[in-house]
Amino acid sequence: MFDKVSRSWHLVKASAGVLRTDKELLLLPVISAIATLLVGATFLVPVLGLRLFEGGEIGPMGAIVGFLFYLSQYFVIFFFNTALVGAAMIRLEGGDPTVADGLRIARGKLGAILGYAALAATVGLVLKMLGERAGAVGKIIIGLIGMAWTLATFLVVPILVSRDIGPVDAVKESVDLLKRTWGENVVGNVGINLAFGLVTALVVVMAIGLTVAAALIAGATVAIAVAVLGAIAIALVAVVQAALSGIYAAAVYRYAVDGAAPAGFAGGELQAAFRPK
């Protein structure tokens, strides 16, 4: 456990070093979050108006709307993630990227992004529909399948940024790179999610504690203000995590393909984080 926490901290610091050089890249996950909220709000009206998901079952119309929702959400997320990874690639190659550079790269990959979004939407909807009908054991199995899909697609976006191939081939290459470079131990050694999970938990606990204290000492108005600040702090942590994850994915892809750690990343740290059995 302590090894994982230590390794997580080293990986976060290495990615943060790149992010400190290009702080404007934080705008991309912010815009992505706003866009996904707008997409969600757009679909909320027909879902509630048509009562598509009442009764706990997904009918034909619900399946169609659900697929379109997944497709739209994934497209937005992958578009801005592609922009982030593309800008990170420029930095790792010694360039000086801007947000406009990242968006330009993403616009040039619209077809591949849409195809990958459709693939991910199909997988997501199928898993959701199976989960609705599965028992307790089935839900666990479906959850493991979802984790396997996340692992298999870990490097898809960097691959799409770097190569002119379709989403299916990108998924196959991502799986191949994972098998060849890190083996089965990758899940236990990926550290950024662990590190930010701890940071997020700490921020949540502090926000709740300060809100309760403010309510007891200063009244409801101050407590609401503290709660809002706490929510903003949690959102900022999520934004930084998204940015660091994109930068780290770009660095890992470069390391997996070239066999050498990009600037700002020690090869030993990457080897320790993704150590084959």
pLDDT by residue, tens only, the chain of 277 residues? 555 555 556 666 777 777 888 888 889 999 999 999 888 888 777 666 556 555 555 566 667 777 888 899 999 999 999 999 999 888 888 788 889 999 999 999 999 999 999 999 899 888 887 877 777 777 888 888 888 888 888 889 999 999 999 999 999 999 888 776 664 445 545 667 777 788 888 989 998 998 988 888 888 888 888 888 888 888 888 888 888 888 888 887 887 787 666 766 665 656 655 555 4
HEC profile of the chain: CHHHHHHHHHHHHHHHHHHHHCHHHHHHHHHHHHHHHHHHHHHHHHHHHHCCCHHHCCCHHHHHHHHHHHHHHHHHHHHHHHHHHHHHHHHHCCCCCCHHHHHHHHHCCHHHHHHHHHHHHHHHHHHHHHHHHCCHHHHHHHHHHHHHHHHHCCCHHHHHHHCCCCHHHHHHHHHHHHHHHCHHHHHHHCCHHHHHHHHHHHHHHHHHHHHHHHHHHCCHHHHHHHHHHHHHHHHHHHHHHHHHHHHHHHHHHHHHHHCCCCCCCCHHHHHHHCCCC
- What is the identity of the amino acid at 242? A
